[in-house]
Amino acid sequence: MSRRTLNIALLQLSFSDDLDANQKKLADSVAKACAQKDKPALIVFSELHNGLYFCQQENADAFTRAETVPGPTSEWCCALAKQHQLVIVGSVFEKTTDGDYYNTALVADSDGSLAGRYHKTHIPYDPGYYEQHYFKSSSEGFHPIQTSIGKLGVLICFDQWFPEAARAMALAGAELLIYPTAIGYDPENSQAQQIRDREAWITVQRGHAIANLIPVASCNRIAYEAAPDTSQSSGINFWGSSFVCGPQGEFLAQANDQDETIVHATVDLSRTEELRKVWTFLRDRKPEMYHK
Amino acid sequence: MSRRTLNIALLQLSFSDDLDANQKKLADSVAKACAQKDKPALIVFSELHNGLYFCQQENADAFTRAETVPGPTSEWCCALAKQHQLVIVGSVFEKTTDGDYYNTALVADSDGSLAGRYHKTHIPYDPGYYEQHYFKSSSEGFHPIQTSIGKLGVLICFDQWFPEAARAMALAGAELLIYPTAIGYDPENSQAQQIRDREAWITVQRGHAIANLIPVASCNRIAYEAAPDTSQSSGINFWGSSFVCGPQGEFLAQANDQDETIVHATVDLSRTEELRKVWTFLRDRKPEMYHK
């Protein structure tokens, strides 16, 4: 049987508020990833890569960061995807023409077209992550984005903690879950708590792979970012730890929590169908029981 | 703040088709567990502990193993619970008066009363696990069982693979998820596949802890059992690996895949409320989006 494998690269990078420098770093990293022997067919950026993670605090001025889709960032992603003949999952603070604001993931296909977008559904609002101040929650549900390389189940960061989102994407036909992310250690927590938080973040996503028998690719930013008003908060130490796991949650590649790096992995999309013959979770769901 | 801790013991044992010997082994193990410094307030048995795992094949004679609840096994569990002044989660092949058959978990409270029962919802039907031949699927939904030590979210084995069951129990107020289990290696699989299967089983359950921020206690049987008709199948090598994890999926205790053993752990039920203030997953669910 011929197998459907897919080379993936995740760009685990730090960002400043210099948009041009961020885009140059991303473009250079894409070129570097493509120079590898196993050229990626899919490259994932981390969440809100145009600048610092501005949601650490509530600040009306930050709304000026928003842009339309299509718009400058989506066009830049599409051009980069076409240039390198691969699929890119990017991220942008989106303002719609009717005045809504979304935390949006973009999928640029290898022909330079915009294959689709996803509006983040689960929006955090807790110390350091005041996203409900900025973003409306999606009202669209969970729909995989069809691309030249398959149906991508694109979700975003806080969605990671919700098995419902992963399941809905899988039931709608997603072949792979992809999470652009910005999450980190709270410097005020003990080291033991920091580790528990990070391990929980990794483990719950591996669980989504297992429950649905599809791979997961999760790309997080790295490095410490101070809060805009340092008197209010200790900032966030983004923990990286970007990873790709297979459909039984097995690690295929994993970055550390210290370094900017490119994570390369090859997933075998044929495994899903094989495993679902043995582990018949989708067949044996009892949806009529879940709301009793 | 006073903390609500709970000492738990899991009895990871092998069984034969000698009911009296099985019950003696369980009773002796309960006594042994209670002789520890941190006497357990909750003891969990593995799934269908009255005999061999008869669902390896389809066999009409095996229906004679079924019994009513209340009945001999539930009464035995309740007497043992009262004798040692603790809560026991047991398991039985139940036949109801109206002719239904269930894979049932029993909860015996420390006063000797039957606190409640749970009928398995997700019933496997795949090589080695022909449970749909024997058991009707529950039509009752997911309801925690109130006991003297708290609200127990009792599920059974194959339910482990379904985040929906864990979530429904948590939303209904379960303070702890408990899984009596009988699962093992397929001897015909490669060692690498055997390990992936076991690790997936562990990881997906840790994921349920994390997504709901409650501890998980999972008690599996141990040892190889041949199939009734050895010409049809290579049997099952039950992989043990019983474990207790905390509400962020952190291991508190874990058995190996070789030995009969008693797993002791102490969970801190107060952690759930503390964690849910920081990780606001239940608040931020979007149920109206999960069915679009």
Chain B residue closest to A169 (CA)? B290
CB contacts of B161 in chain A (<8 Å) are 210-211, 279, 281
Question: What are the pLDDT digits (tens) for A83-97?
Answer: 999 999 999 999 999
Backbone angles phi, psi at B33, to 5 degrees: -60, -35
Write down the pLDDT at residue B230: 86
The pLDDT mean for chain A works out to 97
Domain assignment present for A50: yes
Residue B58 makes CB contacts below 8 A (sequence gap 6+) with B130, B133
> What whole-number percentage of chain B has pLDDT above 90?
96
Question: Rounded mean pLDDT of A262-277?
Answer: 97
Q: Cα separation of A168 and A176, whole Å?
A: 12
Q: Which residues of A are catalytic?
A: 47, 120, 157
Domain assignment present for B288: no
pLDDT tier at B1, thresholds 50, 70, 90: low
A230-256 b/e (C-beta count within 10 Å ≥ 16 → b): eeebbbbbbbbbbbbbbbbbbebbbbe
Using CB atoms and an 8 Å cut-off, which of residues 160-219 of chain B contact chain A?
161-165, 167-168, 196-197, 199-200, 203-204, 206-208, 210-211
pLDDT tier at A2, thresholds 50, 70, 90: confident
Q: Cα separation of A102 and A121, whole Å?
A: 9
Contact assignment for B281 to A162 by CB distance below 8 Å: yes
Q: Calculate ∠ Cα B214-B122-B68, nearest 5°.
A: 100
Neighbours of B256 (CB within 10 A): 12
Domain assignment present for B96: yes
Write down the pLDDT at residue A273: 96
Chain B residue closest to A278 (CA)? B126
Domain assignment present for A287: no
Question: Rounded mean pLDDT of B77-81?
Answer: 98
Q: Is B95 on the interface with A (CB under 8 A)?
A: no
Contact assignment for A158 to B203 by CB distance below 8 Å: no
Question: Across the interface, which of A168, A250, A284 has its CB nearest the CB of B290?
Answer: A168
Q: Cα separation of A46 and A182, whole Å?
A: 7
Which CATH number is B51's domain given? 3.60.110.10
Sign for the CA dihedral angle at A117, A122, A123, A126 comes to: negative
Question: What are the pLDDT digits (tens) for A185-234?
Answer: 999 999 999 999 999 999 999 999 999 999 999 999 999 999 988 888 89
pLDDT tier at A1, thresholds 50, 70, 90: low
Contact assignment for A292 to B207 by CB distance below 8 Å: no
Write down the pLDDT at residue A231: 85
Residue B255 has pLDDT above 70, yes or no: yes
Q: Cα separation of B142 and A149, whole Å?
A: 39
Say whether B215 sits in a helix, a strand or coil: coil
* Helix ranges restricted to H, chain B: 19-34, 72-84, 163-171, 191-212, 270-278
Which candidate in B77, B157, B219, B245 is catalytic?
Answer: B157
Q: Is B120 a catalytic residue?
A: yes
Q: Cα separation of A290 and A285, whole Å?
A: 9
The complex scores an ipTM of 0.97
Question: Across the interface, which of B163, B204, B284 has its CB nearest the CB of A124?
Answer: B284
Question: Across the interface, which of B125, B199, B280 has its CB nearest the CB of A249?
Answer: B199
Question: What are the pLDDT digits (tens) for B100-157?
Answer: 999 999 999 999 999 999 999 999 999 999 999 999 999 999 999 999 999 999 999 9
Domain assignment present for B291: no
Q: Are B127 and B246 in contact (CB under 8 A)?
A: no
Contact assignment for A281 to B161 by CB distance below 8 Å: yes
Question: Across the interface, which of A126, A137, A203 has its CB nearest the CB of B210?
Answer: A203
> What whole-number percentage of chain A has pLDDT above 90?
95
Structural domains of chain B, count: 1
Question: What are the pLDDT digits (tens) for B208-229?
Answer: 999 999 999 999 999 999 998 8
Residue A10 has pLDDT above 70, yes or no: yes
Question: To 10 degrees, the CA torsion angle through B184, B189, B194, B197?
Answer: -80
Domain assignment present for A167: yes
Question: What are the pLDDT digits (tens) for B167-220?
Answer: 999 999 999 999 999 999 999 999 999 999 999 999 999 999 999 999 999 999
Question: Rounded mean pLDDT of A97-124?
Answer: 97
Contact assignment for A211 to B207 by CB distance below 8 Å: yes
CB contacts of A289 in chain B (<8 Å) are 121, 138-142, 168
Backbone angles phi, psi at A192, to 5 degrees: -60, -40
Q: Are B244 and B205 in contact (CB under 8 A)?
A: no
Q: Are A163 and A211 in contact (CB under 8 A)?
A: yes
Contact assignment for B168 to A290 by CB distance below 8 Å: yes
Write down the pLDDT at residue A233: 86
Question: What are the pLDDT digits (tens) for B30-73?
Answer: 999 999 988 999 999 999 999 999 999 999 999 999 999 999 99
Contact assignment for A199 to B249 by CB distance below 8 Å: yes
CB contacts of A196 in chain B (<8 Å) are 248, 250
Domain assignment present for B46: yes
Q: Are strands A125-126 and A114-119 parallel, antiparallel or unpaired?
A: unpaired
Q: Read off the pTM.
A: 0.98
Q: Cα separation of A12 and A222, whole Å?
A: 6
- Per-residue CA distances from B91 to A262, B161, B163, B264 (Å): 49, 19, 22, 20
Range of the domain at B197: 5-282
> What whole-number percentage of chain B has pLDDT above 70?
99
The Cα of B69 is separated from the nearest Cα of chain A by a number of Å equal to 23
Terminal C-alpha separation, chain B: 43
Phi-psi region of A223 (alpha: psi -120 to 50; beta: other; left: phi over 0): left
Q: Are B256 and B268 in contact (CB under 8 A)?
A: no
Using CB atoms and an 8 Å cut-off, which of residues 240-269 of chain A contact chain B?
248-250
CA B244 from centre of chain: 11
Q: Is B140 on the interface with A (CB under 8 A)?
A: yes
Q: Is B274 on the interface with A (CB under 8 A)?
A: no
Closest CA to A42 of A1, A3, A85, A75: A85
Domain assignment present for A289: no
Secondary structure of A63-129 as H, E, C letters: HHHCECCCCHHHHHHHHHHHHHCCEEEEEEEEECCCCCEEEEEEEECCCCCEEEEEECCCCCEECCE
* Residue positions counted in chain A: 292
Question: What are the pLDDT digits (tens) for B26-35?
Answer: 999 999 999 9
Phi-psi region of A97 (alpha: psi -120 to 50; beta: other; left: phi over 0): alpha
Q: Is B286 a catalytic residue?
A: no
Residue B233 has pLDDT above 90, yes or no: no
Q: Give me Rg for the CA atoms of chain B.
A: 18
Write down the pLDDT at residue A229: 87
